[in-house]
Amino acid sequence: MKTAWIAQILGYAGLIPFVFLALDPLLTGFISAPLARLSLLSYGAIILSFLGGIIWGRSLDNPQAGGAMIVSVVLSLAGWGAILWLGPEAFWVLAVGFGAALFYDMGGNLPPWFRRLRIHLSIGAALAMIVGALT
């Protein structure tokens, strides 16, 4: 199987929890609003940390990658800090984190399919965080 195809399937599937957890309290109430918000915040922090890990992994063969490693760790720490914060501001921290990770990645040498995927997924994740902040 092709890596790009698998990454796209898994990436878009990864948006499902964002959409469900952001919209469920507004539409169905299947999950209690506080649990949905905490779950959305936690999932967002995990995914932001995952994006940091991608940056770390891409930098390992570059002897000048200290800056990339710092960005990687800052993203993970921002996700962790958001979980500790728990208020509406925490969702904004994650939304900005997704934007920052995307901005950083767009400066890298990425395959065009991955660049498009990152844009779509980052916008979806950031929008879910904005909904979480506003509800």
Residues in the chain with pLDDT values less than 70: 1
Token code pair at residue 52: 């940091």
Rounded Cα distance between 1 and 17, Å, is 25
pLDDT of residue 1: 63
pLDDT in tens, 59-86: 888 888 888 999 999 999 999 999 999 8
- Whole-structure pTM value: 0.93
pLDDT of residue 64: 83
* Residue 2, burial from CB neighbour count under 10 angstroms (0-12, 13-18, 19+): exposed
pLDDT of residue 66: 87
